Amino acid sequence: MNMNPLKVENVVKQYGEKTAVNGISFEVSEGEIYGLLGANGAGKTTTMRMVLGLIYPDEGKILYNGKGYSNDQLSNLGYLPEERGLYPKVRISDQLVYLGQLRGMSKRDAEQSLKKWLDRFEVPEYYNKKIEELSKGNQQKIGFIASVIHSPKIVILDEAFSGLDPVNVELLKSTVKELRDAGSSILFSTHRMEHVEELCRNITILHRSNVVLKGNLKDIKKQFPKERVLLNTPKEVTGLERINGVTNVIRHEYGYEIGIANEAAGADILRHALTQTDITRFEIKEPTLNEIFIKTVGGDSHE
């Protein structure tokens, strides 16, 4: 029987009068990174907390390998909270080994695993340091290690990359991919669409507690019309805005970005440009997730 490690069915959570999450459903299969997108306060963290069993859903159910939540499940879960939670004054080796032990590792395994991860992040010297001595970005690395030190089957990363420099983002991203390839199911939330496009197969976009868009990332993109053309030419091209179906033309240093009402207009643009000059680049662009997000969530995404 093919049972997905994590299955969320019609989960509803209410805080008093306010509905925080209104009927979300999704499944995460083995070796998959599932993207949970949404503006601030859309219900991402609440959803994650319900998956973790920190809070209980009012309706619906969450299944782990087909079973309900229990304390036995705990050692299979790894969690990186949005507000990084570690003891500021306790040595990293002490607290991470402690957390590893709490999730069922032996002391020796936890120590080995911690050393391995610190080497992976090229910071073995942090072993005996305290959290408060580290910079925010480095604290985050340690937080990440804390969430995966016990090689959990289900990893939940809340805003894993926020506050990191580009080098560390790449480092962390490649680590997340390794985890995925090793068979972990990862639930991942972020504001940064380019990370989602790179990592996630399936996504759910939440808006004001409701699911507004859900499914395979490629399918979602197909649903949205291709509305932009990139055109790079050595010489100037005139009269682009007069072509039928062109909505707007923006001139960049490298060339033109042209808005189109339908894909057919693309061919007209190509033909029109060829009559005037050579073409170094012509592309009818897929909509970016960023554009899709803004379109579905709308301009009022920020409260």
Q: Which residues bind another protein (CB under 8 A)?
A: 16, 49, 52-56, 71, 74-75, 77, 79, 81, 83-90, 94-95, 98-99, 101-104, 146-147
Shorter beta-carbon distance to another protein: residue 99 or 260: 99
Number of Cβ within a 10 Å radius of residue 207: 19
Shorter beta-carbon distance to another protein: residue 64 or 293: 64
Cα-based distances in Å from 53 to 11, 73, 123, 194: 13, 9, 32, 29
Tell me the closest approach of the beta carbon of residue 49 to another protein, in angstroms.
8
Tell me the closest approach of the beta carbon of residue 293 to another protein, in angstroms.
27
DSSP string, 96-131: HHHHHHHTT--HHHHHHHHHHHHHHTT-GGGGG-BG
Shorter beta-carbon distance to another protein: residue 99 or 205: 99
CA atoms within 13 A on the CB side of 6: 30
Which region holds residue 191: left if phi is over 0, alpha if psi is between -120 and 50, else beta?
alpha
Shorter beta-carbon distance to another protein: residue 88 or 239: 88
First-to-last CA distance in the chain? 45
Tell me the closest approach of the beta carbon of residue 228 to another protein, in angstroms.
42
Tell me the closest approach of the beta carbon of residue 81 to another protein, in angstroms.
5
Closest CA to 147 of 241, 76, 223: 76
- Which residue, chain included where needed, has tokens 């036995």? 72
Shorter beta-carbon distance to another protein: residue 104 or 124: 104
